[in-house]
Chains A and B, each alone.
Chain A
Amino acid sequence: MTTETIDEVPGSAPRKPGSPAASATGWKWRRSEGGVLNAFSHAFLVIWALMVGLPLLWALWSSFKSSGDILSHPMSFPTHFKFDNWSHAWTKAHMGRYFVNTIIVVGFSTAGTMLFGSMAAYVLARFEFPLNRLIYFLFVGGMAFPVVMVLVPLFFVTTNLGIINTLPGLILVYIAYSLPFTVFFMTSFFRTLPTSVAEAALVDGASHTRTFFQIMVPMARPGIISIGIFNVLGQWNQYLLPLVLNQGDTSKWVLTQGLADLAVQQGYQGDWGGLFAGLSIAMLPVLAVYIVFQRQVQAGLTAGALK
């Protein structure tokens, strides 16, 4: 996928002013149209960029203000930087623990999703066997129904399995609900890869398993990275599943749960600085990763829609 703009595409035929299609006045008119439109588009683009950027910056600079200052001068810059907010949010509001929990859950569940998703997708894409189509549609069909629909039975399935309110339980649920899209995308990706390399490996005596891990996975890397990013962000931001399946011990909460709770608690305690510090803690790492890998992230998130 490319996100180049058209003006960066070379090779458009040179056109002289006053070409046959445009009379002299027509040309002048069109040029002014270009100018007006240019100013017009820039104005709208700048306004939207401010509308997106300012609230985020506002949350960041509010995290350095005292709660009284936030309420009396909601818009002002911090006069003296109050770093307490951050340490309070990190330790007293346990954002640090939630942060670590989230990293553990997302780390294992994304790795698991990519491993199991690619394994299933590879078999479904490359091998003919009875039930192949049925299994494929079972997986892909999962994309069509809303998770919220199965909330009640899922609550009891995880209770009966004894994995409710545990991090491994949450990891397994994340993997299971990420499989439909991962299998769908990776199956079509494996189909686009040439068969000859894998055949050569098999002829040379490599087992199917070895061929998959040593030949096919490296070849499928672009697809795995795209969908990996998609899953990391989706699972990092998951709110509904932990809310229902991980509502027990607060020491096992993930970041989204902690933040929602912080918003309620700080409302009672009036510790607004702590709330904004908590928001910043949740916001900054993701934004930092995004800015560094923005091309891959944009490609990964839009890959599904372009496929």
Chain B
Amino acid sequence: MRHGKYRFIIGFLAIPLALYGTLVISPFVQDFQISLTDWTGLTPDKHYIGFDNYRKIIHDHLFWQSLWHNVLLLLIVPIVTLAFGLFFAFMLNVGGRRKGSASVAGVRGSGFYKIVFFFPQVLSVTVIAILWQQIYNPDPEEGVLNVILKDVGLGSLTQSWLGDPKLALACIMAVMVWANVGFYVVLFSAGMSSIPTEIYEAALLDGAKRFTTFFKVTLPLLSDTVATGWVYMGIIAMDAFAFVQLMSVNNGGPNEKTDVVPLLLYKTAFRDNSQYGLAAAMGVAMLVVTLLFAVLTLRLSRRERIEF
């Protein structure tokens, strides 16, 4: 029994580790190596050029603009999504008419709402992006959103949506929020229903109104779940590749006003003359930004915990 232990451990770890080592760790290490070369894929040989690719990135206006778009996504999308998620979860769980003895009550049909709100979460980003691309159809007569606006008498608001450089990124953000709110409603509902009713009763006895209850009872008790949700949402916002690639005009357009770093990396490597070295350097830059985000989030959430 004893001497079989190591054979068993090796037997069980061999395949997972081999797969993981070849397809995840080795590319990860190679990325740093490729980022130091001028490799374009056209020639089999690559030359080490030191940090030239990084220098190129630092002076590239397009890279900074794309990174700025990522930062905007990282700040706005999680805030709006989590706010909607919390609001709806609170409405579902505590917003209902109190029935006789119950001190807090969910609205009727909360199960139904949760099922519907969660729909986008099970659909692929591809489906969502293409569907909304159709809804945002810029034509004033054929585009659904424009037709709806006209029908309700807001014809002056009709836009070319994704075709407008000022609006395009906001339109994509709105879809990202639309796609993710349901997840947080379900997540926060689960968190809220685990808060003991006695706490709500105590707050009620002290004369707290519902909005006070929300900010002084529910939110502090959920702060851990909210912080986790923030990290998850941040990772989605940091990527945004599929949303932008599928929805935007000309892959990041109009005028590169929706371009994000992952899409820029993809275009650099697989569209524009295969500048692999440069794309790899962008990958390293992305890693740095992601780690920075993770460290900052952890710092901030720790400070929050002391406050409460």
Query: A residues within 8 Å of B by Cβ?
Result: 1-9, 11-15, 19, 21-22, 26, 30-31, 33-35, 37-38, 40-42, 44-45, 48-49, 51-53, 55-56, 58-59, 71-72, 74-75, 116-117, 119-120, 122-123, 127, 129, 135, 138-139, 142, 144-146, 148-158, 161, 172-173, 175-177, 179-180, 183, 202, 207-209, 212, 233, 236-237, 239-240, 244, 255-256, 259-260, 263, 272, 275-276, 279, 282-283, 286-287, 289-291, 294, 297-298, 301-302, 305-306
Contact = CB atoms under 8 A, between A and B. Distances in A.
Interface string B69-106: 00000000000000010011001111111111111111
- Provide the main secondary structure of the chain A interface: helix
B125 A9 contact: no
Contacts of A53: 116, 119
A129 B6 contact: yes
Contact of B228 (A2, A11, A173, A305): A305
Interface string B269-295: 110000010011001101100110010
A191 B268 CA distance: 44
Interface in B196-228: 197-198, 200-201, 204-207, 209-210, 225, 228
B103 A12 contact: yes
Nearest to B19: A176
Contact of A150 (B27, B141, B147): B27
Interface of B: 1, 4-6, 8-9, 11-13, 15-17, 19-20, 22-28, 30-31, 34, 84, 87-88, 91-107, 110-127, 130-135, 137, 139, 141-144, 147-148, 151, 178, 181-183, 186-187, 189-194, 197-198, 200-201, 204-207, 209-210, 225, 228-229, 232, 235, 238-239, 241-242, 246, 262, 265-266, 269-270, 276, 279-280, 283-284, 286-287, 290-291, 294
B93 A144 contact: no
The 5 closest A-B pairs by CB, nearest first: A5-B106, A237-B124, A41-B95, A41-B91, A153-B27
Given A2-B194, A71-B142, A120 B130 contact: no
Given A52-B182, A179-B20, A152 B269 contact: yes
A135 B37 CA distance: 30
A6 B105 contact: yes
A263 B137 CA distance: 13
A240 B143 CA distance: 28
Nearest to B279: A152
Contacts of B200: 6
Contacts of A208: 4-5, 8
Contact of A34 (B23, B97, B143, B225): B97
A153 B24 contact: no
Given A151-B279, A239-B242, A3 B101 contact: no
Contacts of B125: 237, 239
B291 to A, nearest CB: 7
A122 B12 contact: yes
A279 B190 contact: no
Contacts of A26: 207
A91 B144 CA distance: 28
Contacts of B182: 52
Contacts of B117: 48-49, 52
Contacts of A51: 178
Nearest to B23: A176
A224 B132 CA distance: 34
A3 B114 contact: yes
A148 B123 contact: no
A40 B107 CA distance: 11
A176 B11 contact: no
